[in-house]
Amino acid sequence: MITKPKGTYDIYGEEAKKWHYVSAVVDEMMSRYNYSFIRTPIFENTEVFHRGVGDTTDIVTKETYDFVDRGKRNMTLRPEGTAGVVRSYIENKMYGDAIQPVKLYYNGTMYRYERPQSGRDRELTQFGVEVLGSSDPAIDAEVISIPVNIFKLLGLKGVKVNINSLGDTESRNNYREALIKYFKPNIKCLCEDCQERLEKNPLRILDCKVDADNEILKNAPVMLDYLNEESKNRFEDVQNYLDVLDIDYEVNPKIVRGLDYYCHTVFEIEATVKDFGANNVIAAGGRYDNLVTNLGGPETPGIGFACGLGRLVMALDKEEIKLPINDDIDAFVLYVNETEKEYAVALTQDLRLQGFRVETEWTGRNLKGQFKQADRLKAKYLIILNSEDLVAGEIQVKNNLTKDTEMVKESEIDDYLDLNLR
């Protein structure tokens, strides 16, 4: 038997309905916030991610699916959403659009070669937003508020934001030098990856999963102590706007995020989820004011976040949150003979085109079997065809809840359902 690749998944049945519902909630929220949907390729030129995400990040050094296509071009399956969106922003000259800033959101699959575990797969689905063209601290607060409000709308409890600032280039360089000076005497006590990160990007050491409990990391210098006055003021402004939006947050100086392109505001959003362990983070993001120029575009500030859809659905399941999924149908059309079947097929299509959710029999079940199938599909009404009734221009309709039956004129069947269902 051929099976799916390790770390991938099939989504179907009740699980698919949950994913579809959550995606619909995301779409609705994005519409309220006036964000436009963007779809970027699942694979891009490798340079997009190596230059964009950064050569020192774990995603690029360990997790990307890289391949050479038949044209001898280096390609990479997209491991995250931001770099591809920024590439599209530059290529399509969105910076010249009359409406600024450009506010975009995506919902699609990403690929990372890592050890599959609960909530982490090699094929994952993420939704996220990117705002390009505004450095206003208020837009930072807006971006943070989006996943917070989505999670609350879905019913998650204890939603909280952890924020930090990585400052501007000057602040970050000062902090980098302080980290190198601090870690250098004890670098041999850290993992091999951290030893390599020391000169390339010492901030990555702070995000190490292997040495997370190492006292050396716990006592490392704090970024907030190295912010210049401008960066400090900006961070205070972001906090002020979060207060204005009534967003619950805590300043956490240990947050650095795992991608090289971040500056200024970085954040993680968690919720109280049983059995998630210590890591209740469901969404995360930050500001990336240099990414557009890194990928060859004009100087453009940007900020965004990403959320794993699978991890979000898992959180809802663990919290036993019942989503209001409408999985019933309006009507089931029953028939016995071939003449009635032809009418059933035509009537089913006609009612669907009128906006009703309708099903009929496709596997040759007898009438008793069709009644059972209608119950399985939670049909609200049963349309029971009978050749003699059709000759008289009438159709028998049964309310599947009350069991009341009425004879309805053929020409009025859609009006009857509309009156009783809407």
Mean pLDDT of the chain: 90
Q: Residue 212 has which token pair?
A: 């997370």
Tell me: cis bond preceding 301? Omega within 30 of 0 counts.
no
User: 191 vs 351, which has greater pLDDT?
Assistant: 351
Region 339-356: mean pLDDT is 96
Query: Which residues neighbour 3 within 8 Å (Cβ) at sequence distance 6 or greater?
Result: none
Contact between 283 and 262 (Cβ < 8 Å):
no
Which residues of the chain form CATH 3.40.50.800? 329-421
CATH 3.30.930.10 in the chain, residue ranges: 13-168+228-318
Average pLDDT over residues 224-240: 94
Higher pLDDT, 224 or 368: 368
* Residue 55 pLDDT grade (very low, low, confident, very high; cuts 50, 70, 90): low
- What is the CATH number that goes with domain 329-421? 3.40.50.800
Residue 307 — pLDDT band, cuts 50, 70, 90?
very high
DSSP H helices, 92-191, are 137-154, 169-183
CATH T-level topology, domain 13-168+228-318 = BirA Bifunctional Protein; domain 2 (3.30.930)
- 84-88: long-range contacts (C-beta < 8 A, 24 or more apart)? 84/40, 84/41, 84/44, 84/48, 85/38, 85/40, 85/130, 85/304, 86/52, 86/130, 86/132, 86/291, 86/292, 86/295, 86/297, 86/302, 87/40, 87/44, 87/48, 87/52, 87/295, 88/38, 88/40
Q: State the pTM of this model.
A: 0.89
**pLDDT score, position 277:** 67
